[in-house]
């Protein structure tokens, strides 16, 4: 077991949803958390990253920084998604290796797996088929990051590990209706429908696709668990193993915010893949379990959206 006590932990990407959850969690546990805004260190600039790590000497590094975005953003800016993500991960890993950090955790997402991977998706599905074309830029960069972490482990014997989270939601999410994922979009739509007294609320697609959702605080818990208990070249999936239909999620969201009107399914909008579930049996076999059920988690996300003025402003 890797002991985190007394260690300084650099969370690269602390302003994102995942980074923010990690800061909350590690500070609550009394750990020394190191963060730096872009004014201090621009992660695509190698010299800045190396100078920062050499000066601050973190013991542990978590790569939660990435250029992220939905279908439209990937299509409009493929260079940003491929180039920036490659540089961010390469710069951080090189600096961490040079400074002799004790442990590094690299984060990706389920879109690294082939478009037609068998469900649920196991870690072994990586590089077994073509990627989903719409997010291939981001996926290629993340696959390179997994392989780079593995290469540092193989060539230099460093304790670099990679974790691939399922679909996430929670405080700090993106609530922009055109670029967000389904949960923040439906939360916002349900609140607005309730407040305006609308009779209906629109859900994209048929409502039948199956998805797996994890509250970002559960992810932070799993990542702390992996830092302490996982040390292996292969990346590891982080999911709940539980699926729901989009229609079910929409209904829970309406209950949560108190919208009592009807759901209208807009079939002119795409369903996307019919089923997306990670196989997290390796993590679950290690004894980790998610703690936050979907109803409870959605209530928390709603509270964050209603109470947090900056979330509302950026929405
Ligand atoms: P995906 O998991 O990569 O497909 O990404 P999304 O979270 O954007 O979409 C998941 C599912 O939710 C898809 O079937 C969407 O059609 C459906 N969905 C229903 N309503 C919405 C909405 O308002 N916004 C988004 N983004 N998806 C929605």
Dump pLDDT digits (tens) for 105-134. Answer: 999 999 999 999 999 999 999 999 999 988
> Among 181, 193, 243, 275, which residue has the most ligand 1 atoms within 8 Å of its CB, making it the best to mutate?
181
User: Helices 17-28 and 216-229 meet at what angle, rounded to 10?
Assistant: 60
The two three-digit tokens of residue 75, written as one number:
């299509």
Annotated catalytic sites, by residue? 138
Whether pLDDT at 306 is above 90: no
Q: Residue 9, Cβ neighbours under 10 Å: how many?
A: 24
pLDDT tier at 149, thresholds 50, 70, 90: very high
Q: Which of 11-15, 33-37, 270-274, 281-285 is predicted with the least confidence, judged by mean pLDDT?
A: 270-274
SS3 for 205? coil
pLDDT tier at 315, thresholds 50, 70, 90: very low
Distance 270 CA to ligand 1 centre (A): 8
Q: DSSP states of 256-303 as a string?
A: HHT--SEEEEETTS----SEE-B--HHHHHTT------HHHHHHHHHH
Whether pLDDT at 310 is above 60: no
Q: Considering the entire predicted model, what is its pTM?
A: 0.96
CA–CA distance, 23 with 289 (Å, rounded to integer): 20
Whether pLDDT at 287 is above 60: yes
- Return the percentage of the chain with pLDDT > 90, whole number: 89
Beta strands in the chain (DSSP E): 8-12, 32-34, 60-63, 103-107, 160-165, 167-169, 200-204, 210-211, 213-215, 236-238, 244-245, 262-266, 275-276
pLDDT tens track for 36-76? 999 999 999 999 999 999 999 999 999 999 998 877 788 88
SS3 for 129? coil
Nearest CA to ligand 1 atom 8: 181
Number of the ligand 1 atom closest to the C-alpha atom of 270:
16
Distance 181 CA to ligand 1 centre (A): 6
CA–CA distance, 278 with 304 (Å, rounded to integer): 27
Q: Residue 86, Cβ neighbours under 10 Å: how many?
A: 18
pLDDT tens track for 182-237? 999 999 999 999 999 999 999 999 999 999 999 999 999 999 999 999 999 999 99
Nearest CA to ligand 1 atom 25: 182
For residue 122, give the nearest of 133, 130, 112 by alpha carbon: 112
Q: Residue 232, Cβ neighbours under 10 Å: how many?
A: 13
pLDDT tier at 314, thresholds 50, 70, 90: very low
The two three-digit tokens of residue 32, written as one number:
């020394």
CA–CA distance, 118 with 275 (Å, rounded to integer): 10
The residues near 235 (Cβ < 8 Å, ≥ 6 apart) are: 108, 123, 126, 146, 149, 161, 162, 163, 164
Asked if residue 108 has its Cβ within 6 Å of ligand 1, the reply is no
Nearest CA to ligand 1 atom 18: 204
Burial state string for 90-128 with b = 16 or more CB within 10 A and e = fewer than 16: bbbbbbbbebebebbbbbbbbbbbbeebebbbbbebbee
């Amino acid at each position: 077991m890797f002991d985190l006590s007394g260690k300084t932990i650099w969370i690269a990407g602390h302003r994102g949803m995942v980074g923010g959850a990690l800061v909350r969690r590690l500070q609550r546990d009394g750990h020394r958390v190191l963060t730096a805004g872009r004014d201090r260190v621009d992660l695509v600039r190698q010299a800045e990253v190396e100078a920062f790590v050499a000066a601050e000497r973190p013991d542990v590094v978590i790569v939660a920084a990435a250029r992220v975005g939905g279908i439209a953003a990937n299509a409009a800016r493929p260079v940003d998604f491929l180039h920036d993500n490659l540089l961010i991960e390469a710069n951080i890993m090189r600096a961490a290796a040079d400074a002799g950090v004790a442990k590094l955790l690299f984060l990706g997402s389920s879109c690294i797996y082939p478009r037609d991977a068998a469900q649920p998706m196991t870690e072994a599905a990586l590089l077994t088929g073509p990627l989903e074309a719409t997010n291939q830029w981001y996926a290629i960069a993340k696959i390179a990051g997994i392989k780079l972490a593995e290469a540092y482990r193989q060539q230099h014997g460093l304790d670099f590990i990679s974790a691939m989270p399922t679909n996430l939601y929670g405080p700090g999410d993106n609530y922009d209706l055109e670029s967000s994922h389904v949960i923040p979009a439906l939360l916002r739509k349900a609140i607005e429908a309730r407040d305006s007294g609308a009779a209906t609320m629109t859900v994209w697609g048929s409502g039948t696709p199956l998805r797996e959702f994890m509250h970002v605080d559960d992810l932070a818990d799993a990542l702390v668990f992996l830092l302490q208990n996982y040390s292996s070249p292969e990346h590891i999936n982080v999911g709940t193993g539980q699926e729901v239909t989009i229609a079910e999620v929409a209904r829970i969201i309406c209950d949560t915010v108190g919208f009592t009107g009807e759901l209208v399914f807009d079939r002119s909008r795409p369903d996307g893949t019919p089923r997306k579930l990670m196989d997290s049996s390796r993590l679950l076999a290690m004894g980790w379990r998610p703690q936050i059920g979907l109803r409870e988690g959605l209530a928390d996300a709603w509270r964050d959206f209603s109470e947090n003025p900056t979330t509302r402003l950026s929405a």
